[in-house]
Amino acid sequence: MEMAAGGRARRRFMERLSLSGLGGLGMGAMSALGATPVQAATGSEVRQWDGETDLLVMGSGAAGMAAAIEGARQGLEVTVLEKFQLAGGSSSLSGGVCYMGGGTPLQKALGFDDSVENMYHYLVAAAGVHAEPARIQLYCEGSLAHFDWLNELGVRYATRFSSDKELSHGADSLYYSGGEQTWPFREQAKPAPRGHVPPAHNQTGGRELMKLMHAAAARLGVKVQLRMSAEQLIRASDGRVIGLVVEDAAGQRLNLRARRGVVLAAGGFIHNRPMLQRYAPELASSQPAWGRAGDLGMGILMGLGAGGNLLRMDHGFAVLPLYPSEEVLKGVVVNRFGQRFINEDAYYGGMGHAWLFQQQGHGFLVVDGDSDYPGPDYRFTLAAEAASIEALETALKLPPGALVNTVGYYNQHAARGEDPQFRKQTKYLATLTKPPFKAYDLTVGKAFCTVHTFGGLEIDLDGRVLDGWGSAIPGLYAAGRTSASLPVAPYLASGLSIGDGTFFGRRAGAHAAGKGA
């Protein structure tokens, strides 16, 4: 991409802002207002283009880079615009898990059977009423090819399986990253581990994945420009998206033309409080927000301003991480009525959803001397500690007898290795009998529960942004958490967001190149 000097362009841009009635209010100020969509500029008003390429990608996380790489592989000239000094987006903060299955080489090498059907049935079951079967089917059928695609980029998995529920701190590359082995899903689809992690220590797989993707992109000639903040879409008079207004590190405004399209891959809106309050008040009530500082909803707002339709804006990922250590899963999680409400070994996204959306963010984790955290737990504060369940119940001000009842019933069956109510896996069943008994406080606002958004622009199976009519907006794509795609609440498994972003990001890049992925 060729860049012209920005001074004159900036002046013209500001003039245009004035002409269009925005007065002295710059776009940066507009976005700071919160849930205010950013209206697209009209191409006929652009008197000078400061650069031109085939495909412009907003955001350098996994979704954006997948679109960029695939576009470049298929012959497009591609520029990625990254607002920050550091590339990689929220993907680089993540574990880098990619949810793949159907019999990947890694699954096979580690002796796990899987099939497209099993993977499909798990995802459909876990997505419940919010499942988009056609999208899930495409994702499952394309999973082996997606594994190969990542392999070609240089992503190599270690032939090491971890049986831990949480992403390994070592360099293991395959694990059960969702609720495949837990009830009720284990009855609906044959379990298989599908969380594929680039080998990395201390859960830095996301950083590794992004390094590899950026290196692959560089080899393909993709330009990644840092500290370039996309601010506004530019549309032709026929509605086609033909470019972006961006602000460079010096504060200069530039009009960049995109001959084949623009991909919005700028993350979700977890850091935009007004948007969160308006669309997802439950998520707004929890903390901390999970995501890099750029998750301000800018991509979503820009797409909305161009006529894009929004879906599932109330959905998100609420991670209530009881584990590790998995020892505590032998305890019970109870609501404010002293009742259990979910199997404690549920995937932590399922646990977080049940707790935040169905129990209004109330509850306690109750453990005994054998099932307590090995050390003081930084995530949850101690609500009470007592020598008996009766005393613990009193200290927690639970309904009299309720917790005693719950633990009594639980112990009676756990002693036989059974959990007839919630069907927790046998390995997490143990009687709670050894003092001291402790209750950790799972009250929203006090408990550590990271949240992230899933709602965004409606896209078709090629990543094209759809307007309210269900028609694709020409030249406009979205991927990752800027779009509403595979991840729905309760979240289905770790690695599904990266998996979705890279899979449908790829398809967006391919579509922009006029070819299939």
Binding site for a copy of itself (CB under 8 A): 35-37, 39, 128-130, 278, 281-282, 284-285, 304-305, 310-311, 314, 337-340, 357-358, 360, 399-402, 405, 409, 412-413, 420-422, 468-470
Q: Which is nearer to a copy of itself, 213 or 457 (CB)?
A: 457
Alpha-carbon 33 to chain mean position: 24
Q: In the complex, what is the shortest distance from the CB of residue 140 to a copy of itself, in angstroms, rounded to a whole number?
A: 21
Q: In the complex, what is the shortest distance from the CB of residue 248 to a copy of itself, in angstroms, rounded to a whole number?
A: 26
Rounded CA gap, 470 and 454, in Å?
Answer: 20
Q: In the complex, what is the shortest distance from the CB of residue 284 to a copy of itself, in angstroms, rounded to a whole number?
A: 8
Rounded CA gap, 445 and 229, in Å?
Answer: 32
Q: In the complex, what is the shortest distance from the CB of residue 394 to a copy of itself, in angstroms, rounded to a whole number?
A: 12
What tokens appear for 51 in the block?
A: 């650069």
Q: In the complex, what is the shortest distance from the CB of residue 469 to a copy of itself, in angstroms, rounded to a whole number?
A: 6
- Judge residue 514's burial from the number of C-beta atoms within 10 Å of its C-beta, 0-12 exposed, 13-18 middle, 19 or more buried: exposed
Q: Which is nearer to a copy of itself, 157 or 347 (CB)?
A: 347
Q: Which is nearer to a copy of itself, 399 or 514 (CB)?
A: 399
Q: In the complex, what is the shortest distance from the CB of residue 179 to a copy of itself, in angstroms, rounded to a whole number?
A: 15
**Please, what is the Cα angle at 59 between 54 and 64, to 5 degrees?**
65
CB-based contact 102:119 (threshold 8 Å): yes
Rounded CA gap, 458 and 59, in Å?
Answer: 18
Q: Which is nearer to a copy of itself, 112 or 122 (CB)?
A: 122
CB-based contact 358:459 (threshold 8 Å): no
Rounded CA gap, 68 and 71, in Å?
Answer: 5
Q: Which is nearer to a copy of itself, 205 or 338 (CB)?
A: 338
What tokens appear for 283 in the block?
A: 């998520």
Q: Which is nearer to a copy of itself, 1 or 402 (CB)?
A: 402
Q: Which is nearer to a copy of itself, 258 or 354 (CB)?
A: 354
Contacts of 167 (CB under 8 A, 6+ apart): 95, 97, 175, 177, 195, 197, 203, 205, 494
What three-state secondary structure class fits 78? strand
Contacts of 426 (CB under 8 A, 6+ apart): 417
Backbone region of residue 113 per phi and psi (left: phi > 0; alpha: psi in -120 to 50; beta: other values)? beta
Rounded CA gap, 310 and 316, in Å?
Answer: 14
Q: In the complex, what is the shortest distance from the CB of residue 339 to a copy of itself, in angstroms, rounded to a whole number?
A: 5
Q: In the complex, what is the shortest distance from the CB of residue 475 to a copy of itself, in angstroms, rounded to a whole number?
A: 19
Q: Which is nearer to a copy of itself, 339 or 494 (CB)?
A: 339
What tokens appear for 63 in the block?
A: 């979704």
Alpha-carbon 228 to chain mean position: 23
Q: In the complex, what is the shortest distance from the CB of residue 287 to a copy of itself, in angstroms, rounded to a whole number?
A: 15
Q: Which is nearer to a copy of itself, 378 or 469 (CB)?
A: 469
Rounded CA gap, 188 and 217, in Å?
Answer: 39
CB-based contact 88:94 (threshold 8 Å): no
DSSP class of residue 331 equals: S
Q: In the complex, what is the shortest distance from the CB of residue 413 to a copy of itself, in angstroms, rounded to a whole number?
A: 8
Q: Which is nearer to a copy of itself, 310 or 386 (CB)?
A: 310
